[in-house]
Amino acid sequence: MPRQAETNISNRVRVAVSQLGCKIFRNPVGFDNDRKVRYGLARGSPDLVGWLPIEITEKHLGMKLAVFVGIEVKGKNTAFKEHQRNFLNQIASDGGIAVLARGNADDAIRAINEIRQATEESRSGHIRGYVSDTQRRERKNTKLDD
């Protein structure tokens, strides 16, 4: 899938999850040959990163918890590389929201809504790492598979 198509998907995802209260930013990763410098978070880090503010337990009433969000954007047939999969798995295992948005914003919207709903219902203060359905289907034997 051409890069422009992924850019369009990424823009739709950013708008959609922002409307759900997520603070999300582009994270271009690469190497500038002219300046000989790497940029972005790290190799394998997702295309979009940010956080979702979530209110937690009664003890912490009124406080907000910023849950890290990592969204890897792929076209319908674009390869999901092992280092990208590993980065998203690490986000989820540490309690963050890890999403593979393939072809549209649906998985990202579902992930944010499920986390918001779960915390509003339970107010337990504990948030299990979230892995999108699309990513779960595409993963090979990882410790986070249900």
| pLDDT for res 42 | 87
Architecture category of domain 3-30+39-138 in CATH: 3-Layer(aba) Sandwich (3.40)
Q: What is the mean pLDDT of the chain?
A: 80
Confidence of residue 129 (pLDDT cuts 50, 70, 90): low
Got the DSSP string for 90-120? HHHHTT-EEEEEESSSHHHHHHHHHHHHHHH
Distance set, CA 141 to CA 17, 135, 137 (Å)? 29, 12, 11
Q: Would you say the C-alpha torsion 39, 44, 47, 53 has a positive or negative sign?
A: negative
- The fraction of the chain above a pLDDT of 90, given in percent, is 28
- The predicted model scores a pTM of 0.62
| pLDDT for res 18 | 92
Check if the beta carbon of residue 21 is closer than 8 Å to that of residue 10.
no
Read off the pLDDT of residues 18-32 as tens digits, 9 standing for 90 and up.
Answer: 999 888 899 999 999
Q: Domain locations in the chain?
A: 3-30+39-138
- Quote the tokens at residue 63: 């406080």
Of 47-51, 64-68, 77-81, the least confident: 64-68
